[in-house]
Structure formats: C-alpha cells, structure tokens
Structure 1
C-alpha cells in the first residue's frame, strides 16, 4: 500500500526561541515548489538525495527572509517515502512562521495534519503500524525504561515476533483450505496432531507476549506511589529525600501538608509519580479535612502505597485497616521512619529508614522498583507489549485460536477451523497494520504532534 498525495508543510521543531528551527516539507513535486522561494548555487530539484545546500529563502517579492540550509531526501529514501526537504532556519519563531506562510501562498502546499508525516511513512511501507506508534512513544518517553521500550518497538522487535506468528497461522490456514478444495478426494494435507501442536505453540508465544504487558504498562506510563501515614511521621521528609530538595514543608507541627503534592522521579530507569498526602487524623479544620478527602482518592488510584510510621510511636493499626478497606494489601509497603532517633520501640516494617540520614533509603528505592516490575526484568533487546491496543489484539487472537483448537478436538468441519485461524491472523495483522481501518489510523495519528 502506497500513497501519493499533495505537498504538506509543518514546523518539525518545538515552537519558541532556539538555536535553529526546522521546517519539514514532503510530497510529490515538493522540490520545484521549494525552488520558487529558495535562492542558492544549485536548484533543489537538480540536487542529489541526502545533500545539504546553503542559500536564502525569499518572499514572493524577492526579499530575503533568512539564510537557510536545505536538506534533500529523494523518494523512496526519506522518512515519508516521498520526496522531502527540511529547511533549517535561525530559531526565531517569527522567521519560521514567515517562511511557512510564504510556502502556503504558493497554493500547491498545505499545512500538515497531526502525525501526517509518520502516517505517510506507514502508508508508503517505510514502517509498520506498531513502529509508527513507537515514534510517538519515543517523543513522549519520560524515563530511561520507557525510552528503551519504545526504541525496541521502533526497531521492530515486536513486529518480528508478530509477523512470525502470523506467517505460521497463514501457513496452517492455507493447508486446511487446500484440504477443503480436495474434500472429495479425501486428501489430508495436515494431520490433526500437527495442527494442534502448531496452535498450541502459537498460543504459548502469544501468552509470553501478554505476560509482558504488566511490565510494559509500568515502562510506558510509570507508577503512582502514595505516601500516607499519621501526621508528623515524616512523609514530606521522605519525599524531599527522593527529590534531593525541600519540595514539601517539614515541621514538627502536625497537619502541615494540607493538599496533595505531586512530584516525579526516576528510579532504576522507571518513572515514579510520588504523591505526598495529608496526614490522616480527625480534624475540625475544613481545609485539612478536604486534604484528607483528596488523599483517599489518591490512595484508590495508587499502584503502590508507602504506609509510613514513626519508629518511636505505636503502630497506627487503625489507619492500616482503613487502607486495607481502600486498597488491596499487596500494594502496601510498610515503612518505619525515624530510626536515627534510637532503637525502634514497637514493630518491624517492610523497610526501616531515616529520611534525615538516608539510612535504608537505597533499600526502599530497590523495593519500589521490585514492587513495580516484579523480580523479572527485560533485557536490552526484548519485545515488550506496552500498548493497550496491541494487548487487546493479542487477546482476540488467543480467543480465536482457542476456538479453533476446540473445533479440531471435536472434529468440526475444516471451514470453521479456517475461519477461527483467519480471525486470529487478522487480529495479529491489526497490530502491525496489515489489517486496519481509517478509524484506527485516524485515532492513532491524531495523537501525534504536528510536524511528526
């Protein structure tokens, strides 16, 4: 599937002041359009691919707008698979806007839609759909792990595994349908045992991909961590220690934190969103009471709850019971703080720390990572399912394969087995864009930024 459309233009670099601005132009006959405004030693249309040319962009009256560098990319060796140019200007937004306006005045060029350059790359078979989605994930990655996961997907690690499974399904389906063509001759092209073995092998492979989704969500989206405890147990001190700055006010006065304080940190390459909540206690102060109400909402949405207690005080079992009513116990990590003040007096926690001296904080960090991703981690080159759409497609493929397996065991006609195998193949094809609809494409690419 290829596409030949009109010429599009957009700013490819972030809006605002910077060293340079890059304007991307792509589409058939874009070289001659650029030559109408570009003044250099050589015309762009006569230039070789992957060359850079210095010159000036002028307005329709011949007045210089800015001196520029024009990079030339000839089809099919470009990002979009079409003839493309990138115009590098000085990083003044007024200059970039003026140049774009002059190109639009030519009438042969229009503004690009969100994600349209990447959409054309997909339609022109430069990348598959899962790789196109990885482009957006790379742009928006906020941690080392999410960047590495998106990079692996862009490199085609997921696509390779999906293609292998799909090819195996297509081969099995072809043999079954070939048998149907020779039904009167009673010729068997694939034995029942071999077909069941093939289906089971594909299900096992799909299951192994589905199992990566829990880690994949963490890698892509990060982890919500709520810091909760009675007033003055050191929640804000622990937050400040993680951030290496005094983000929360620390005081001996109970109830200092009245609202939710949200900060982000990276631990072991994983993004953690820390929520410092208001201390839980009875209060007649309407502001503090509202803070406690918001804290309960944070707890309901938390992936991990750090239940913080003071080593020198009795265990807040009433608060622990309340937490267990709000969230599941496996999300709760019991943290015993202030161990620098002396031996603990009352009980053991999951981890003992001193936010003041840093003692035990490395252990707490490691525990957070382990809690987020479990004991198994992925290597540098592992296919990870991070996308809900991909996860849903894999689940649908698995369901179709289970139906096919049941039909084989019950000696149902090959026509029904073939339909289920084809449905499984279609579900896998949706991941990489072999089978798709305009609605799916529009929903994916409308989330991209303009210029990508």
Structure 2
C-alpha cells in the first residue's frame, strides 16, 4: 500500500487508444518526471485535480508518445489514492514503451486486481462491490451486466446492512442486560427476539432463493438438446448459433460426441449442448455418445426435447420422456414443414411439458422458444430495480451460515436456554453476513479474490 503501482488497463492489442494507470502516493511525482506539455511550461504537480492535459511522454530526451494525461487527487479516485491515467496510442509497442518509462521513473508493476484491491482496502468499495467489478468485466450478456452493475452500486451491500443492523441491536441489548441486570430487564425477551429472527431469516431466504437464477444470469442456462437420431438436434444447434458447427446428414447416429456452444438470445445466455441421438445401438462409439447424452440430461438446467413430427413415437421417445421427469423442459415438435404423424396435443399429454412447433429447416419458431425460456426461468421478465440476485458462491455460503445461526437462536429460545446463548448465535450470523462485505476476512481470501482480476484493474 505504500508503493506507487502502474499497469496497462486496456487490452494488449492494436487499438486507437491505450490507458496506462498509475496509483499511489508518488503518482504525480512519477508523471512529472516524464511529461512535457506542448509549450514545455506546465508542471503537473501544480494543476488542479481531475483535469486533463495534452502533451508528450519523454524518456530522458527521447519522445515516446503523444498523450493526454488525467490527474486525480485522493480521495476522489477509484483507489482512494492519487491517480494518474495516461491516454496514449493503443498499439502494443506504444503502450509498453509508455509503461516501461513509468516503471523506470519510480512506479512498480501492479499485481492482478491490485487497483481494485486498494479501492477495497481504502474503503471505496466493500467486498461484494469489488467482486461485482470482475463480474461486470466478464459479463456475457445484457442481464449479467445489469445484475453486476446493480451489485456494484451496492444492492447486495444495502440488503446485508439492513439485516446486520437489526441483529446488532439485539446483540447489544442482550449484552447490556447481562452486564446490568438491575436496570435492563430481559424477561420475556425471547419472544420478541423470535419475531426478529423469523423476519431476518425470511430476508436471507429470499436472497438465497435467487442463487439459481443468479448463476444462470452469470454463467448461462445449461441447455441440453435431446432426441432420437435424425430428429433435427444438430440442425437446431446450427440455427441457434448461426453457423454450421454440427455435422448434419440423413445418416442416423452422425452425432456421437457432445458439442458445446455458448450463445446469447435476446439477452439470455444459453450454454447449448448437442448430444448423440438416444437409441439402442451395438456401435460401441455411438453408445458412449448416448451414455454421455443421458448424463448431460441429468445435469441440465433446461432440456430441449426435439421430436421429428414426421416419425411415430417409439420406445426411444419413452426413455427420453422418463429422463425429463422433474426437469425444466420444452418439447420442440420439429419438421412441421413435413406431413405430421405426431400431434401436438398427444405430446403434451405424454410429456406433461410445453410443446412448441418449429421447423429448423424453415427457421421458424425460434423467437417463440426464446420467449418461453424467459417465461420459464425469469417469469417472463428480468428486472434489477428491486430484485437482488446472488451470483457468487462465497456470498451464498455466508448467507447459508447466517441462516443456520438464526435457526439455532430460535432453537435456544424454544428450549428456554439462557440469553447468552442467543447472543453467541446472533453474533455468528452477524459475522457471517459481514464476510460478504469484507469484514473479518483473511488476507489469503482477499488475495485469492483479487488474483482473478486482470492486471490493469
């Protein structure tokens, strides 16, 4: 924290502009040594904060690049420290030369995530917001970006702080009463506390109930395409991803291995998995593919069951329908451009799932499929005005620990245990929730979290 760090904060590729970021107590001292204005008069240690200056970066007497330099004084910066950003030309060589010059004149190379780590340690962000930064960078779709931005603005922090505020009030009251029983009575306090624990448990439960949706928003819905050979599974995959990734032939059993692709449809990410056609076969290689398809079906968030409407249902369809029991699934009645021998109503009755007529060949029904997925997984709409989505495993585990501790408080109340037992479990819940915000977390965990960041962030 006492060193001044620097790194390239933009992608290392040919681009119009590249940014070299410097943060730390001596940031302005470093830039002062290497910056010259156009007229050679301006000294950056004398300029107002949050101003931009046009000039050149020099290494001794060699001009390195033409730049814009932004000078920002602590504490109104991302890291909470004096910060300088150099906007130079975006070529890889140009950015490296500018960075090398900065390092040569007093800065040290930043570790991955060190800028955001300093923002956290300087109180500019809590840990949930810091984790949202990397989620914003890694967002794969519009909804993941909105969810991450919501957390970055403090949506998780606000919810956690409300719960902790309620818990710490009761912890303080019980501790005060135990220290001064003559003036503070806790007779019958258990019933009042039980109402609070029930309310706070409900809030935690609501947050935990968003974990599944949050995971799908962040990572995409794991979507497995199942069906008999030649039902049109690979044609559907090619249509969804917009290119011919899967081999399509009239020969049954063409697809033998699992093929995965990530796509975004109307802002929803799908991790699409094409599988071998489900049937009994003596071909060893094809049978391995069929077994893999069955395994993928068990792990799927969503099954797309493709049915060839021109071929009667048989025992293979019965096996697939069994695999769909208890799973989120959509039945796609494919090849509707051909004469149909399978009725939509018949499939609804047999599968118990929504049936959607499509034609992968004619490219029809895909938008209806997208709308149905939205309806199934997000009640037709995804909004971040009020809803908070938990997308982080670390946060989920802390919430589960807090929930369990409040259950123990309720048990202690029901069993008539002494009030200091209430205080112990309330404090455990309070501290578990605090770990979400970054309180009482070890240095190793902090380092692990920020090591996943890119170097310039």
Match of 1:131 in 2: 129
The partner residue of 2:442 within 437, 440, 445 is: 437
Q: C-alpha displacement at 1:295, in angstroms?
A: 3.6
Deviations 1:110-131 (A, max 9, x none): 1111110001001111111100
Match of 1:357 in 2: 362
Residues in 2 aligned to 1:194 and 1:32: alpha-carbon distance in whole angstroms: 59
Q: How does 1:247-326 map to 2 (within 5 A)?
A: 247-281=245-279, 288=286, 291-321=289-319, 324=322
State how many pairs are aligned.
446
State the SS of the aligned residue for 1:315: coil
Q: C-alpha displacement at 1:294, in angstroms?
A: 4.4
Residues in 2 aligned to 1:353 and 1:28: alpha-carbon distance in whole angstroms: 63
Q: C-alpha displacement at 1:292, in angstroms?
A: 4.0
Residues in 1 aligned to 2:30 and 2:161: alpha-carbon distance in whole angstroms: 40
The partner residue of 1:122 within 116, 120, 123 is: 120
Q: How does 1:6-85 map to 2 (within 5 A)?
A: 6-40=3-37, 41-59=41-59, 61-85=60-84
Q: Measured at CA, do residues 103 and 323 of structure 1 come closer, stay the same or move farther in structure 2, by a change above 3 Å?
A: farther
Q: C-alpha displacement at 1:54, in angstroms?
A: 1.1
State the SS of the aligned residue for 1:183: coil
Match of 1:100 in 2: 99
Q: Does 1:337 align with 2:331?
A: no
State the SS of the aligned residue for 1:39: strand
Residues in 2 aligned to 1:190 and 1:434: alpha-carbon distance in whole angstroms: 32
State the SS of the aligned residue for 1:348: helix
What's the C-alpha RMSD, in Å, of the aligned pairs? 2.3
Unmatched 5+ stretches in structure 1: none
Residues in 2 aligned to 1:262 and 1:413: alpha-carbon distance in whole angstroms: 57
Residues in 2 aligned to 1:377 and 1:83: alpha-carbon distance in whole angstroms: 39
More deviation in 431-440 or 63-72? Answer: 431-440
Q: Does 1:171 align with 2:169?
A: yes
Q: C-alpha displacement at 1:375, in angstroms?
A: 6.2
Does structure 2 conserve the Cα–Cα contact (< 8 Å) formed by 1:429 and 1:435?
A: yes
TM-score, normalised relative to structure 1 = 0.92
Q: C-alpha displacement at 1:319, in angstroms?
A: 4.9
Q: C-alpha displacement at 1:377, in angstroms?
A: 4.7
Q: C-alpha displacement at 1:355, in angstroms?
A: 1.6
TM-score, normalised relative to structure 2 = 0.91
Q: C-alpha displacement at 1:307, in angstroms?
A: 1.8
Match of 1:90 in 2: 89
Q: C-alpha displacement at 1:147, in angstroms?
A: 0.6
Q: Measured at CA, do residues 123 and 190 of structure 1 come closer, stay the same or move farther in structure 2, by a change above 3 Å?
A: farther
Q: Measured at CA, do residues 131 and 431 of structure 1 come closer, stay the same or move farther in structure 2, by a change above 3 Å?
A: same
Unmatched 5+ stretches in structure 2: 349-354
Q: Measured at CA, do residues 345 and 99 of structure 1 come closer, stay the same or move farther in structure 2, by a change above 3 Å?
A: closer
Q: Measured at CA, do residues 186 and 163 of structure 1 come closer, stay the same or move farther in structure 2, by a change above 3 Å?
A: closer
Deviations 1:133-170 (A, max 9, x none): 00000000001111111011011111101001111111
Q: C-alpha displacement at 1:96, in angstroms?
A: 1.2
Does structure 1 conserve the Cα–Cα contact (< 8 Å) formed by 2:135 and 2:148?
A: yes
Match of 2:374 in 1: 369
